[in-house]
Amino acid sequence: MKDLTQGSITGHLLHMSAFLALSMLVQTLYLLADLFWVGSLGKEAIAAVSLAGTLMMVVLALTQTLNVGTTTLISHAAGQKDQARAQLAFNQSVALSLLVGGVVAILMFAFRSTYCLSLSADRTTAELSMGYLRWFIPALALQFPMVALAAALRGTGIVKPTVNVQILSVLLNMVIAPLLIFGVGPFPKMGVAGAALATLLAILIANVVLISYFERQFRYLRFCRSQLAPQLKIWWAMLRVGLPAGAEFAMFFVYTVMVYGIIRRFGPAAQAGFGIGARVMQAIFLPTMAVAFALAPIVGQNYSGRQPQRVRQSFYSALGVSFTLMLVLTLLCQLVPQRLIWAFSHDGNVIAFGSEYLRIISWNFVAVSAVFTASSTFQGLGNTLPPLASSLSRILLFALPAVMLSRRPGFEIRQVWYLSLASVIVQAAANLWLVHREFRRKLDSLPAEITPVNVPQATPVSAE
């Protein structure tokens, strides 16, 4: 366990965010590698993988719930030097992840045909999406236990093992994917479905390796069968903190599905351009997301350790680092958006749609960094409702005007991008105001004793 209540705040932030950025990079490379190989199969294949991959946002919303709940409970316990309570929260997180992952897989298989047929621009795209999801859904289910393990490590200030495992998994995916997509040697030619199967195999191996790390090397948190039986009070403690954060990610899914529906009339090229642009933007957000993910356990441990000045310092340090990074990346998207799209498709229409999206949306990058930083600060403080409220306001500001614009004569896709840009700026301003209000409420008169998240006490139990 790493004590984040001592030492340089900026040092902790940069150290953890560097490893987390690498971790997020390899996660994004899963999707970008698939998109790269699938790009040679045509715009319908690109649109199919992009559409199917959008379900990843549903999983991100749910795993973010688990991620934030686990990280918050364990970081608060670690900040108070309560190892027994941290271990109990860890085992309950594992149990909850297995249950939710199984339920999600069942539901996605039940509704995958309806989802693909209703949002695809044509029948070919829909059929390719369904074939991709046949293997991608089990891969999504396996994300749940892996997130639980990674969140537990992050709550204790440890991130390097997770990064190493994810690097291994992405390398495996990049090697296996082209073999299954194109049918090299003894491997079957599976097309887009092969990309999904490669991802499934890589994530399965990553889970096995990460479990092995806990069993053989990590001593602060251990698997304990007697603590895996559901304890609803602890599940509620996780969900109470995690659900609002997960709902924030769900808003991204709602936004993306709305966009796919609105631009459907423009054909597969528009959907492919938006899909590539969104993936590229996701990769661009990695640095600021890494800083935000590192911020939450730092705030959590220092808040539980009753160090309000370090909590404030953590927020402002993260905000400064994120602003600087996103200014540079905004400039990149303004100068060479076409090159960023061309790397995945040489289709002129796809490049035109995707590069216009990046050029307009990039103006909100700095605002997005403020949103991520504020949201993670709330996670560390154990109150995730305010950023959820601002996310909901953003969707409301975007949804109705976007639908109305799409029904007007002469509607152009760029109008949706400008509307999205305005809604993010409003969300960022609201988040910054909410953070300063929360600081006044919780830090100005910090009590001598804090129990931020009420997790039942536990006595140490040896791992079975």
What pLDDT is attached to residue 264? 77
123-153 tens-digit pLDDT: 888 888 888 898 999 999 999 999 999 889 8
| Strand intervals (E) in 250-382 | none
CA distance 24 to 149: 15
What domain range is 357 assigned to? 9-442
CB 381 within 8 Å of CB 453: no
Domain for residue 461, yes or no?
A: no
Domain for residue 320, yes or no?
A: yes
What is the largest distance, in Å, between two alpha-carbon atoms of the chain? 68
Residue 168, pLDDT above cutoff 70: yes
DSSP structure class, residue 302: H
What pLDDT is attached to residue 120? 78
Q: What is the pTM of this model?
A: 0.65
Residue 448, pLDDT above cutoff 60: no
Contacts of 326 (CB under 8 A, 6+ apart): 287, 288, 365, 366, 368, 369
Domain for residue 437, yes or no?
A: yes
Domain for residue 454, yes or no?
A: no
Domain for residue 75, yes or no?
A: yes
Domain for residue 460, yes or no?
A: no
CB 258 within 8 Å of CB 84: no
222-247 tens-digit pLDDT: 888 888 898 999 999 888 888 877 77
What pLDDT is attached to residue 460? 39
Domain for residue 1, yes or no?
A: no
Residue 80, pLDDT above cutoff 90: no
CA distance 160 to 223: 20
**Cα three-residue angle 436-438-444, rounded to 5 degrees:** 90
Both tokens of residue 278? 């969104």
Q: If you average pLDDT over every residue of the chain, what do you get?
A: 83
3-state secondary structure of 89: helix
More confident call, 55 vs 332 = 332
Residue 459, pLDDT above cutoff 50: no
Domain for residue 402, yes or no?
A: yes
What pLDDT is attached to residue 144? 93
Residue with tokens 């199967």: 197
| Strand intervals (E) in 253-401 | none
For residue 98, which amino acid is it? L
Could you please report the per-residue DSSP string of 107-168?
A: HHHHHHHHHHHHH-SSHHHHHHHHHHHHHHHHHHHHHHHHHHHHHHHHHTT--HHHHHHHHH
DSSP structure class, residue 81: T
CA distance 396 to 206: 38
352-406 tens-digit pLDDT: 888 888 899 899 899 989 998 998 898 888 887 888 888 888 888 888 888 888 8
What pLDDT is attached to residue 256? 76
CA distance 50 to 276: 7
Split into its structural domains, the chain has a count of 1
Mean pLDDT calculated for residue range 281-285: 80
CA distance 191 to 323: 40
CA distance 260 to 272: 10
Q: What percent of the chain has pLDDT over 70?
A: 92
CB 45 within 8 Å of CB 128: yes
Residue 1, pLDDT above cutoff 90: no
Residue with tokens 């590192």: 294
